Amino acid sequence: MEVNPGIPNSYFDIVYSIYALGWTVDLQQTLSNIYSYLKPGGIFIFSWEHPLHDRLSYEQSSFNFSKSYNIEGPEYNEAWHHNVIIYHRKLSTYINTLVEAGFIIEKVIDEVALPDTPSENPSKWYSTQKAQLVPATFIIKASKKF
């Protein structure tokens, strides 16, 4: 994502990313690339796991904050049960980096739609019980200036 593989500038009307943008190491460069790929007025929509979600863990029959939301940087992600490193960023970092790249933020969504029945196992990474406390994901719609 950090390196342009030859995509022309001002080519796309819309770019979307579903649970991929958070894998980038250099968010600023990635968003600058995406901005350059869009036509003026083009739309960028992306989703990623909400930065509060992985801060909360289920231990001894209750949810606790196990990591600081405010500390950003690469870290082991427990959801994968392997040695997977993901770069933790605050929601404000995504928003501010979009603005710095030239995007106009049109909408931010982090509402939660919960099923009627709770998860059988509240310790699952994506459980209803956890989603009652913090959103599992966020979606941002941004546009390139005309």
Q: Would you place residue 141 in the very low, low, confident or very high pLDDT band (cuts 50, 70, 90)? A: very high
pTM for this predicted structure: 0.93
If you average pLDDT over residues 122-144, what whole number do you get? 95
Q: How many CA atoms lie within 13 A of 60 on its CB side?
A: 3
How far is 26 from 44, CA to CA, in rounded Å? Answer: 18
Segments making up each domain of the chain, as ranges: 12-144
29 compared with 78, residue with greater pLDDT:
29
If you average pLDDT over residues 105-112, what whole number do you get? 96
The residues, ordered by sequence, that sit 6+ positions from 124 with a Cβ below 8 Å of its Cβ are 130
- What class is the 12-144 domain? alpha beta
**What are the C-alpha distances in Å from 63 to residues 57, 79, 126, 132?**
5, 15, 13, 11
pLDDT tens, residue by residue, 41-87: 999 999 999 999 999 999 999 999 989 999 999 998 877 777 889 99
